[in-house]
Amino acid sequence: MTTLPLTAPAADVEAIRRLIARHKTWDWLFGLLGVFALMFAMLVFAMLFGQMLKNGLPHLSWDFFTSFPSRRAASAGILSAWVGTVLVMLVTALVAVPLGVGAGIYLEEYAPKNLLTDIIEINVTNLAGVPSIIYGLLALGLFVYQFGLGQSIAAAGLTLALLILPVVIVATREAIRTIPQNIREGAYACGATKWQVVSHHVIPYSLPGIMTGVIIGLARAIGETAPIITIGALTFIAFLPPSPFGNPDQLISFDWLMAPFTVMPIQMFNWISRPEEAFQANAAAAGLVLVVMTLSMNAVAIWIRYHFRKKIKW
């Protein structure tokens, strides 16, 4: 009976050491390359944001937020633009969030695993990468002409809802997949039904990830320009939509849904296309406001994730 040696030959040990050292060298180089790429991206962003801050910050004032656009740069403001942005995003959130979260929960928890489900999942994933102009063309034929919504806030909100719907669905599914299976099994062992497992365990535990994906999707929609231009957003508007509470005969009026509108990116496009330098500064100021709004939405997403994770007890 032969016995195996307990120690490897010295040549093999040295070869293993050289292999480990070579891999460590590649790891170090890859880490250095990643740091360089990160610093370069941050430097470019800092330069662009600094230039925008330098040109736009002196123009930020109360009058800038409460004035309508004007042909005179000194008196032009973003009142109609930021009000239109808020209303469009309100419609987008009210449509995309329930549909997207509900679809994600159904696909992950209820849908049977068959060919039809696989086709739906592939199409949802592919739709998340479709250019936004395609959604604008689809909305132009469907919402503007077929449904007769015209160039209204409702059409814009539905268009952006279609745009971020795949993002919300994918984010919801990914958040649900992070929930350990033993939580479901423990709930079933206690006699819970499918809906009780989903509503009492799956949704609460996955809510931080779901809300993060929703707000990131809304942050993407707030800066979209191509689909809004396609459905006919106004580049110059000097009035506000009707107030939801302005009609004495109704508690809440929905006439604002069919009102013409403009949004922040469109207003910036209008100003940046003018040759006067003062309008370029106004566009920088509006861009600064839009960046702050986007960063604020991402900050809210981070806070929501942190807040709900503190309450979760695995």
Q: What is the pLDDT of residues 27-68, one digit of tens each?
A: 888 888 989 999 999 999 889 888 888 888 888 888 888 888
Q: What is the pLDDT of residues 122-138, one digit of tens each?
A: 888 888 778 888 888 88
* b/e map 258-287, b = 16+ CB within 10 Å: bbbbbbbbbbbbbbeeeeeeebbbbbbbbb
> Above 50 in pLDDT, residue 195?
yes
- State the pTM of this model: 0.81
Phi-psi region of 61 (alpha: psi -120 to 50; beta: other; left: phi over 0): beta
Confidence at residue 4, expressed as pLDDT on a 0 to 100 scale: 46
CATH 1.10.3720.10 holds for 61-311: yes
Confidence at residue 249, expressed as pLDDT on a 0 to 100 scale: 66
Confidence at residue 194, expressed as pLDDT on a 0 to 100 scale: 85
Q: What is the pLDDT of residues 177-188, one digit of tens each?
A: 888 888 888 888
Q: Which of 97-101, 187-191, 226-230 has the highest mean pLDDT?
A: 97-101
| Position 204 confidence tier, pLDDT thresholds 50, 70, 90 | confident
Confidence at residue 247, expressed as pLDDT on a 0 to 100 scale: 65
Confidence at residue 40, expressed as pLDDT on a 0 to 100 scale: 93
> Above 60 in pLDDT, residue 314?
no
Confidence at residue 187, expressed as pLDDT on a 0 to 100 scale: 83
Confidence at residue 95, expressed as pLDDT on a 0 to 100 scale: 92
Q: What is the pLDDT of residues 258-281, one digit of tens each?
A: 888 888 888 888 888 888 888 888
**Where along the chain do its domains lie?**
61-311
> Above 70 in pLDDT, residue 239?
yes
Confidence at residue 39, expressed as pLDDT on a 0 to 100 scale: 93
Q: What is the pLDDT of residues 84-111, one digit of tens each?
A: 888 898 899 999 999 999 999 998 888 8
Residue 156 Cα distances to 81, 94, 186, 229, 313, angstroms? 13, 13, 45, 10, 41
What's the whole-number mean pLDDT along residues 233-259?
75
* b/e map 193-206, b = 16+ CB within 10 Å: eeeebbeebbbebb
